[in-house]
Chain A
């Protein structure tokens, strides 16, 4: 017996301690660049390439055989084969065709026409391949995974991936799907500003109210957090999932093209030329961080034009965009019921916060010089790595986040009725009752939207749910209780029951901009040869965790109540435990499940005796101070 207990120390899972515990990594999957990090003993380490570079450009180049190159190498190919290179794909995650932003009528992406039956997620043509943003992101994640594996010298299968706080449900789900395609289990999606606050706060021992201003390549977030003794509590968050440095580039590129048009007459751009114009614009923007002015060349249709630009002109071009972020800062302060003077410090995150105008305006709105003693490109990945370590090996820190957007359902007249309001702490669940309006109606459709506007068509459509299997009743008699849950990843789940009969209605999800289940399954089959094997490995790991749970529970019960068993009975239970223990050491999932089932059966009588004794002891206690409270509960039970 002693030996058995030794094997199952509480908290240790049989099977997990074969070899070193696998490390989980932190990934900042950015619009322009991505970073991967790992944390050990609370010390995050950014994983760099041979040249010491942390940033992997989020750019993917596809070859004719569909094989992909990621990062700097792909970026270089942009000059020679722009049609086979794609960047900024994060802006398309969970997006439809209508969300695309064009440059002089051309998109820096080749959009494929949508299939009739497919969901609304945009499809792209890269080097002649039809691809979803999810698949392209998966290539970036695979490259990050590889970098981590070569650094750590072993397989990496679990990760914390960061997303913009203002990402909606569709974009979050798409990110999780991409990780699955890359063979990574997402332990948690963490909001980028929250991850940054975690890394910053732990590093600097910061306490008090902090603002995180995160302006990346394609997204803007502003989060207000309370930092207190290891607690990172998000009070309010706001932002724009389609506002970032890319938009600065757009403004500059449009300016260049406008000038060029005045000289050469207007031209329609191809998508490749749009990419080149954006690249020149971006170079100009970056140079003007330190320089006051400069000259740039635009090479479109084999015709070169020269453009000079000064920092003043750049600032005039991007000022309306920067003001949008300033207004969002104001709104989020109001949402949190705070004024700028209450904010202890402003942390700048994201490469676009290097733009001098941005720093100046942030300083003005918060009435203080923003903190810049961190690397704005690396702090998010560092936070993700810290959280990955906390999730796998335990920690005292606590991240309490909120849902960035209100969740509503469509009601009569195309109005959105808010069910979960923005800035509600997650996880959260709210229930709403619906009724039928027709005699014998057995199904109804519910449209879920996300956003703050009153009209449904001005909010973002998340999904349409079909509630089927409602028992036929007279109109208005059925009471269908629909529960909306947002989990700690910020992802929505929906359940429904008919209240008068207790019948569970089926909920079929058709995500408006996500991938359908079947499509995802097909991608997994296509892209990962070992998909089925990976699935089996995962199920085996789960069976082992469950077996460990069961063994721990029964070992604890034996330790507490062993006097309830005869010697022979105890021996039988111990034998069943030993069989589970043996099964766990092998790779046969069926055998593990069977052994656990047998163990449950072997302990059935023991459990009954424990319950009997527990109830008897409790009733003895109650009978002395008997409270007169039986009656009022009865009616509730019938509801």
Chain B
């Protein structure tokens, strides 16, 4: 998720009223609405933050069921399949709306994506890749685990490491929740980096296992 396009904060229309022109009936619409209340034409997606777009509170603790429901409800109205017989302009707008919705959904449904995004919303960035220089403990751990994975000769040994990664991922997510709740941005940054690292390790154990099984 760290490669994701940088989100530009919502830009206000020039007149500062939050009112823009509906492209279809040329009347006033609130910026960010999905459909013109007068002529019902679909509007451009605008630059909304992902939480706002999906009608959720800005928080690390997202109820997955609620997230899915909101996402499905919105896609039901905005997906290009609903606009197949409309004008080219409406089809294009539906595509941008659905694209923005997918992007928001992908970021928010993923623990790491959500953590990175929350940190980004607060004006900081999680360092690219796995920058371990500032975290001696994680650096040592990573060296040790990577060595163990390289030495692992059996599926059982790999599974043990995979289990270790899975457990650590779970702990990270729990701790992230309380760090965000306590507004500890620095702590959250550190944990997000740790989560990123253990995700990578989990992926490597999967690959190692596939190699051992497939021969």
Contact = CB atoms under 8 A, between A and B. Distances in A.
B197 to A, nearest CB: 19
Nearest to B97: A427
A415 interface: no
Interface string A290-310: 000000000000000000000
B98 A611 contact: no
B76 A334 contact: no
A10 B19 CA distance: 25
B28 A615 contact: yes
B17 to A, nearest CB: 4
A622 to B, nearest CB: 6
A542 B85 CA distance: 10
A430 B3 CA distance: 10
Given A425-B105, A426-B102, A639-B8, A618 B80 contact: no
B12 A488 contact: no
A116 interface: no
A614 interface: yes
A424 B103 CA distance: 9
Given A233-B72, A553-B22, 8 more contacts: A13-B85, A187-B84, A188-B81, A488-B79, A549-B87, A607-B25, A614-B17, A629-B12
Contact of A636 (B9, B38, B72): B9
Contact of A637 (B11, B85, B88, B99): B11
Interface string B33-52: 00000111100000000000
A391 B98 contact: no
Binding site secondary structure of chain A: helix
B99 A429 contact: yes
Contacts of B9: 632-633, 636
29 contacts: A228-B72, A390-B81, A392-B84, A398-B72, A426-B102, A427-B98, A429-B96, A485-B95, A487-B80, A549-B24, A549-B90, A550-B24, A552-B40, A553-B24, A553-B41, A603-B26, A610-B28, A611-B28, A613-B28, A614-B29, A618-B18, A618-B28, A619-B16, A619-B17, A622-B16, A630-B12, A633-B9, A636-B9, A639-B8
A611 B38 CA distance: 13
A10 B40 contact: yes
Interface string B91-127: 0000110110011011000000000000000000000
B26 A430 contact: no
A387 B39 CA distance: 27
B27 A400 contact: no
B212 interface: no
Interface of B: 4-5, 8-12, 15-19, 21-22, 24-30, 38-41, 72, 75-76, 79-82, 84-88, 90, 95-96, 98-99, 102-103, 105-106, 206, 210, 214
A427 B40 CA distance: 22
A391 B85 contact: yes
Interface in A186-241: 187-188, 228, 231, 233
B5 A400 contact: no
A488 B80 contact: yes
B129 to A, nearest CB: 14
A430 B103 CA distance: 9
A624 interface: no
A546 interface: yes
Contacts of B84: 187-188, 391-392
Interface residues of A, number: 59
Max chain A Cβ within 10 angstroms of own Cβ: one of B28, B79, B80, B102: B28
Q: 9 smallest A-B Cβ distances: which pairs? A: A614-B28, A607-B26, A553-B25, A391-B84, A553-B39, A618-B17, A556-B39, A610-B27, A553-B24
A546 to B, nearest CB: 5
B80 A428 contact: no
A474 interface: no
A424 to B, nearest CB: 7
A556 B19 contact: no
Nearest to A424: B106
B30 A618 contact: yes
A399 interface: yes
Contacts of B24: 549-550, 553
A233 B17 CA distance: 39
Interface string A141-152: 000000000000
B19 A430 contact: no
Nearest to B13: A615
Given A327-B214, A560-B27, A622 B17 contact: yes
Contact of B16 (A392, A430, A552, A630): A630
A400 B101 CA distance: 12
Contacts of A338: none
B102 A427 contact: yes
A431 interface: yes
A450 B163 CA distance: 33
Contact of B99 (A485, A542, A636): A485
Interface in A434-470: none
Contacts of A622: 16-18
Nearest to B6: A431
A396 B76 contact: yes
Max chain A Cβ within 10 angstroms of own Cβ: one of B8, B9, B30, B38: B38
Max chain B Cβ within 10 angstroms of own Cβ: one of A228, A425, A545, A629: A425
Max chain A Cβ within 10 angstroms of own Cβ: one of B9, B17, B79, B103: B17
